[in-house]
A and B are shown apart, each in its own frame.
Chain A
Amino acid sequence: MTKFSISNTNYTYVHDQNDRSEGIDVHHIIVKRSGAKALFVYISVLVLLASAFYLYAYEGKSVTLVYYCLLFNIIFVKILLWRPVAKESVVIMPAFGVQLETHYMSGKVTRHFVPIDKILKPVLLERVTPMTCYWTLSLIVREESELMLIFKNLRPPVKMLVHVWKALCAGTDSK
């Protein structure tokens, strides 16, 4: 089994290749957990909670302030830290199809299989939103007007996407 990996601040890319004749190719994009960011968030949460308590206990403000503070903290932590998606994978089975998997932090896994005759071509496209512009990897699928995104929840950088794209082109045999 040969492994190849690249990583940046947010994501790690791992390529598992089976050397045996089966030729199944697996590519993973794993979300990194950032220690420093988590520490910063927890400290700021503690500080806010502590100041809310102080205001309640010593200055006589109402207890609803503490509740609001708690609510705010929960939302804050959820937005910044809690990522439901742990990993997204692509399993390429030449002459058979491609399987797209999403692994969640809770342990749940969703899988979607695309048979080879439905795939026309994998494409690397730039996507423009009102805020930003980034590269995505998608499949052009027969009889569907929409492109199928391979990494639906994550936004890995283009140097990782290129490897997956090349493998997909080779695996689905499109020129």
Chain B
Amino acid sequence: MGHHQNHRILMVSDFFYPNFGGVENHIYYLSQCLLKLGHKVVVVTHAYGNRSGIRYMTGGLKVYYVPWRPFYMQNTLPTIYGLLPIIRTILIREKITIVHGHQAFSTFCHEALMHGRTMGYKFTLADLSQAICVSHTSKENTVLRSGLPPEKVFVIPNAVDTAMFKPADQCPSIEEIVIVVISRLVYRKGADLLVEVIPEVCRLHPNVRFIIGGDGAKRVRLEEMREKHSLQDRVEMLGAVQHDQVRSVLISGHIFLNSSLTEAFCIAILEAASCGLLTVSTRVGGVPEVLPEDMIVLAEPDPSAMVQAVGKAISMLPEIDPQVMHKRMRELYNWHDVAKRTEIVYDHALKCSNQNLLERLSRYLSCGSWAGKLFCLVMIVGFLLWRLLELWQPADEIEEVPDVILPDNHHEEMLHQSQ
């Protein structure tokens, strides 16, 4: 394997804490593991409310909250060149070698990557050296849609914090079977399917109870369903659940039900399996790749198929041991593994030769009849603006930031030396 060189990585995304969700978690955990491996990580995102400026998180993770207004669902306004000066300043002052963009539909991310590409930095994700997808299905999708050569697309699945998601010490008794659903109650996550499935399951299996956590536009439909079939004592609706309380909701159940209509990967399923629950899910997207066959029951996104799958899961329950499941998850998925695989992608990216402007322009021209010309124009203007910025605010005037050594690390080293 050999010692990898230390990279200085810039994570760019529209979505980061204090906003909560899968992408934010992914960036945070990946950054922490990369920091432990010895690289330097800086995160850039837009300002949230009055949280603007620079913050330091655990492990010395530096986060830049750039004061651009978010525009729609936490995405920043797509001004094409607006971000160029600040991204350039950050790239120079932190001596970044790799830019890692997250989320295929984040405008902040795309702009930053485009400008960074103009300035000759190496990348990961779209229009660039390498791309990372979270599942093989996702890779297929990406390759087909973007025309990237498949050798450039790597698959690194997400991971789960198995230390946090542990099963209960005492399993809840099997007399009454509890099925847990935790998701945003929106169309994409199959809330409509739930409305059909729940009454049917309650009719067929009188000892089953449901716990539904989460909120969204379709919540009203679920409540109507409850009223219509008088299931108030069998279906409990918790409303929005904070991430730190998810585990306590999960361990009160035996089965986890996921009814998403589309999913590249599903961290919720991982969290449930890590807590020792048997999963029932729709067979969509990357879900079949996530768990081994004995930990999950798959069904087509059709109400009757799902009801059958739930029945099958209930009959499988006596054989399930939550502790054994948890141990397997610990081996299969952990963030340190993800970080090491990401490191390999970074090394690959650095070795890629830097395409100069003319080569990239010729690649764009072939993109489409008029779309290609438009891209070229955008890139040329971007290049000219970059040169102008170089004159106006030369790179040597931007001071490089000294690396902060945290006192805790320092103490650890001192302890090692004294031993």
Contacts and interface: CB of A to CB of B under 8 A. Distances in A.
Interface of A: 8-9, 125-133, 135, 157-159
Contact of B64 (A9, A131, A133): A133
Contact of A130 (B68, B393, B401): B68
A128 B65 contact: yes
B399 A130 contact: no
10 contacts: A125-B54, A126-B54, A128-B52, A128-B65, A130-B68, A130-B82, A130-B86, A132-B89, A132-B393, A159-B399
A133 B399 contact: no
Nearest to A9: B397
A135 B397 CA distance: 12
Given A157-B399, A158-B399, A129 B67 contact: yes
B64 A132 contact: no
Contacts of A129: 67, 86
Contacts of B234: none
A125 B53 CA distance: 10
A62 to B, nearest CB: 33
B85 A128 contact: no
Contacts, number: 39
Contacts of B86: 128-133
A71 B310 CA distance: 79
Q: Is the interface of B mostly helix, strand, loop or mixed?
A: mixed
Given A126-B54, A128-B65, A128-B67, A133 B397 contact: no
A127 B53 contact: yes
B90 interface: yes
B365 interface: no
A128 B66 contact: yes
A8 B399 CA distance: 12
B53 to A, nearest CB: 5
Interface size class of B (residues with CB under 8 A): 10 to 19
Nearest to A159: B399
Contacts of B397: 8-9, 157
A12 B390 CA distance: 23
A113 B66 CA distance: 33
Given A133-B64, A133-B86, A128 B399 contact: no
Given A129-B67, A132-B393, 15 more contacts: A8-B397, A9-B397, A125-B54, A126-B54, A127-B53, A128-B64, A128-B66, A128-B67, A130-B66, A131-B86, A133-B86, A133-B89, A157-B397, A157-B399, A159-B399
Contacts of B67: 128-130
A167 to B, nearest CB: 19
B304 to A, nearest CB: 54
A158 B399 CA distance: 7
A10 to B, nearest CB: 8
A159 B402 CA distance: 11
B386 to A, nearest CB: 14
B93 interface: yes
Nearest to A157: B399
A128 B89 CA distance: 10
4 interchain residue pairs of minimum CB distance: A131-B85, A132-B89, A128-B53, A126-B54
A44 to B, nearest CB: 15
